[in-house]
Structure 1
Amino acid sequence: MENLKKWVETSLKSGYDYEVYLERTEKLLVETSNEQPENLSKSKEVGLGIRVIKDFKQGFAYTTEISQESVIKCVKRAMESSELTPEDKGFVLNKNPFRGELKAIYDSEGTTISVEDRIEMLINLERLTKKLDKRVVGSRKSSLKELKVEVYCLNSYGLEYSYRTTYFSCFTSALAVENGEEAISYEYRAGRFIKDIDFEEMAKDVAFKATAQLKASSYETKVLPVVFFRDSATLLLEAFSSMFLGDSLTKNKTMLKGKENTPVGSPLLTIIDDGMLEHGLGSLELDAEGIPSRKNVVVERGVFKGFLHSLYTAVKCNAEPTGNSVRHSFKSLPTSGIRNLYIEKGPYSLDDLLSMYDETFLVLDLMGLHTVDPISGDFSLGASGIILKRGNKEKAVKGVVIGGNVKDLWEKLVGVGKDLRMYGHVGSPSILIEGITVGS
């Protein structure tokens, strides 16, 4: 790092502040299909992103070659791009001179598992899924991905930190067949340690969702209570998550602007973003700009408490940074983002939620999530799942549409499950909404 620092500083013109972000990544992906190995891929990538600031003008460039010549060229490109950038008071660097190596969240044991054993883990996952229900006849694809990441970051104000970490993610599918009719479902889990992935629960969930949707048909249009199964609730939360970000606030792209400390939902609704969540996919002591991570309560008992800020959006909005600066890679600038966002769990089991009303629609799959509007809060989504009468399955339905506004949905929240699960950076328990229009 000393050489890197020297290369940057000797090539910078007078008056420039700088930030250097170096990232090394190794990826291993194993895929199976119908209990057979299908694909194996390995890759490595190293790159360096350089951000420079002078007179509130910012420039950025990156390179995949870590040599003196390449770094000098990268610095020059960054300075050239800053000259074309309009002045913006939000272009500042973290002046906290933290120096040191961050606590490693690294699965030394998980990374030593052989490729053969990883294949066997996926095949066992498929076998277990089929064993749970004879109607499950196969899996179109299952995958297990490992990422090993090393990061070094420093700036001209003395900030200098490094860390290494691991990420694991697993995806599987289940194909169910009954009397010539088919239904397929999918399941995903991720964690910093491979032991964080509960393969048995994945098998149970994907088998349940696939078999529950067999013999599905259309449904009449009506308003009725809806339970979003935990992964569907998670997908819905993720689709609207940008409304909590400082970047959305600065661009007027959120329905929550001006609504701090006002009710936006039921008193049963608490939404948290926790950068220090144990083994969380987005957990780290510092955010991408070196701001200390923390637990941020975004919505507390139905009241919106505030936005999630990077250093830039905090300056622009005259607020404090919340430790929510993220970088997607060395090729991108830091921006505000979620760390570990989730709806706080409640006291009810899934069966409790499904039995609270005479008739309930359990949503097991959502389609069209990319169409939701975080500015207005409006959504209209395709859905499939189960109609239950007094807690017992009445029929499977598909091709129905559920729509409305997310604020109305939050206000009609009448039950929160205790089955909170994290699906990557976002999580939720199952939730019960008092009434949503469901129709064909």
Structure 2
Amino acid sequence: MTRTSDETIVRLAIEAALQAGASAAEGFFSRSSSTTVEVSGGKVENVKVRDGSGIGVRVLVETRLGFAHTSDLSDSAVKKTAKDAVANAQSSAPDPYNRLPAFISADKYRTELGLAPLDEALVSGRIGMEERIDRALSMESTARAYDKRIAKVRQSSVSDAVHESYVSNSNGVGIHHRITSCTASILAVAEANGEASQMGWDFEHSFAFKDLHVKPVGARAAQRALELLGARKIETATVPVILDAPVAGEFLAAVGQALMADQVQKRKSLFAGRVGENVANDAVTIIDDGMYERGIAPAPADGEGVPSQKTVLIDSGTLKGFLHNAYTAARDGVASTGNGVRSSYASLPEVGPSNFYLVPGTVTRTDLIAGCSRAYLVTDVMGMHTVDSVSGDFSVGATGLWIEDGKVKFPVRETTIAGNVRDVLLNIKAVGDDLKFYSRFGSPTIL
């Protein structure tokens, strides 16, 4: 199918919905294809090839909302889906905040020229299965060769995807987007002297297959596993904590959920009613930017067709606002921030991050460690998703490295870190320069 045919399908859905009685209608078409190769022990363990497309139709009948979706793109199926959406709206409760985004002049859409170029080799299918397998095997062999104590690699995985979407509505919105994405991840296992085995994980992302450099990923995973060999338990202590970039990213994701407007409106956020207040140390600036070139998911618009924008949420410690989609923006009487996120054509847009990150500082990770007379460098956590978004309380399992006199003294296992998000934000003393995205949330190392 072509871009023209995608737009034709969406127009057909909108016209059918309006003819069936909708006062406003929207079509969201998406097509995705992906390939994942997993290897272990020098052999291919699994190959997954997925390809799917479909359309979601969202309509309003006055202020009643209806939605339906289908993967059958025949004219008759698309028309039926539009009619089903109208029928669903007619049986739903009215809500004055239900609305579809209005058309915004074309110059408000930040050009796709600023985005990473498409990997035409992926789009055209020129990347063969052997190339994918070779990358995964190369990453595994790099990890195994890094040190004789690397006993095995549980999984070495290389994935790539091509995603295309088109969203349009009866208000005049119409935006098309294509993106290619590649990832590599590996889990290495280290063993020595009969001690408990330790695992190290690493990940990398690129927009083009040729830019997916897997050997450094394998080496970093091996190093992380080796660092934890001989890990010991420690007595209860109150010390400064350094969150390694991957862990800081998980913490930022917990903070981010409390900055989504739907959570604030439900009074399920520790930031509710605090706009304008100091909520973090002045070293902390948090931004969501739909077109951020270092992010994982840059796009010219969100899943509702609202132009992507740069939204400063916390500026030098001061809370400035929240992320909105069209619905939450209407409830608060503000403009959408372009954060109507869809997981697929089969879902309605929810409030979510685009490229959400803690602005990096200028100090290196090495210097952060060197500046600590005594500290705990946390390299992995379990249970960060259990952070209470209302109270901010958390208690998570952690492993990491004990720091004394600016140097790593020994690895640490089976610890529990407890505290409150508010206190952590207010007590961040320094932010590293090593910003990295492991998901839509990205963070540097923080102290």
Q: TM-score range by the shorter chain?
A: over 0.9
Partner residue in 1 for 2:120: 108
Of 221-230 and 195-204, deviating more is: 195-204
- Classify 1:314/1:332 alpha carbon distance in 2 versus 1 (closer, same or farther; 3 Å): same
Q: Is residue 2:370 matched to residue 1:363?
A: no
* CA apart distance, 1:273: 1.0
Give CA-to-partner distance per residue, 1:120-152, whole Å, 9 cap, x none: 111111222233333222210011111211212
For residues 310 and 76 of structure 2, what CA distance do their matches in structure 1 show? 42
TM-score, normalisation: structure 2: 0.92
Give CA-to-partner distance per residue, 1:335-379, whole Å, 9 cap, x none: 111011111111212221112222111101100122111121111
For residues 72 and 297 of structure 2, what CA distance do their matches in structure 1 show? 27
Partner residue in 1 for 2:368: 353
- Classify 1:236/1:164 alpha carbon distance in 2 versus 1 (closer, same or farther; 3 Å): same
SS at match of 1:220: coil
Give CA-to-partner distance per residue, 1:83-134, whole Å, 9 cap, x none: 2322212211112166799657421135532211111111111222233333
For residues 252 and 14 of structure 1, what CA distance do their matches in structure 2 show? 36
Q: Is residue 2:109 matched to residue 1:95?
A: no
Match of 1:74 among 62, 76, 81: 81
Q: Is residue 2:446 matched to residue 1:414?
A: no
Match of 1:9 among 11, 15, 22: 15
Partner residue in 1 for 2:168: 154
For residues 7 and 413 of structure 1, what CA distance do their matches in structure 2 show? 50
- Classify 1:15/1:400 alpha carbon distance in 2 versus 1 (closer, same or farther; 3 Å): closer
Partner residue in 1 for 2:145: 131
Letter in 2 for 1:171: S
For residues 215 and 259 of structure 2, what CA distance do their matches in structure 1 show? 34
CA contact (8 A) 2:177 2:299 kept: no
Partner residue in 2 for 1:31: 38
Partner residue in 2 for 1:236: 251
Structure with more strand by fraction: 1
For residues 202 and 302 of structure 1, what CA distance do their matches in structure 2 show? 34
* CA apart distance, 1:178: 0.9
Letter in 1 for 2:330: V
SS at match of 1:161: strand
For residues 3 and 108 of structure 1, what CA distance do their matches in structure 2 show? 25
Give CA-to-partner distance per residue, 1:244-289, whole Å, 9 cap, x none: 1112122221111111111111111111111111153221111111
Superposition pairs of residues 18-417 of structure 1, within 5 angstroms: 18-96=25-103, 105-110=117-122, 112-181=126-195, 182-195=197-210, 197-278=212-293, 280-417=295-432
For residues 215 and 7 of structure 1, what CA distance do their matches in structure 2 show? 61
Letter in 1 for 2:392: G
Gaps spanning 5+ residues in structure 2: where? 1-6
For residues 22 and 446 of structure 2, what CA distance do their matches in structure 1 show? 54
- Classify 1:305/1:329 alpha carbon distance in 2 versus 1 (closer, same or farther; 3 Å): same
Task: State the identity as a percent.
Answer: 32
For residues 405 and 40 of structure 2, what CA distance do their matches in structure 1 show? 38
For residues 6 and 351 of structure 1, what CA distance do their matches in structure 2 show? 57
Letter in 1 for 2:429: V
Of 43-52 and 348-357, deviating more is: 348-357
Of 75-84 and 61-70, deviating more is: 75-84
Partner residue in 1 for 2:3: none
For residues 207 and 220 of structure 1, what CA distance do their matches in structure 2 show? 28
Give CA-to-partner distance per residue, 1:132-187, whole Å, 9 cap, x none: 33322221001111121121221111222222221222211111111122101222
- Classify 1:7/1:224 alpha carbon distance in 2 versus 1 (closer, same or farther; 3 Å): closer
* CA apart distance, 1:425: 1.2
* CA apart distance, 1:423: 1.2
Aligned length: 432
* CA apart distance, 1:8: 4.1
Of 408-417 and 197-206, deviating more is: 197-206
For residues 231 and 36 of structure 2, what CA distance do their matches in structure 1 show? 34
TM-score, normalisation: structure 1: 0.93
For residues 409 and 66 of structure 2, what CA distance do their matches in structure 1 show? 60
Letter in 1 for 2:273: G
SS at match of 1:244: coil
- Classify 1:246/1:192 alpha carbon distance in 2 versus 1 (closer, same or farther; 3 Å): farther
* CA apart distance, 1:196: 5.1
CA contact (8 A) 1:97 1:157 kept: no
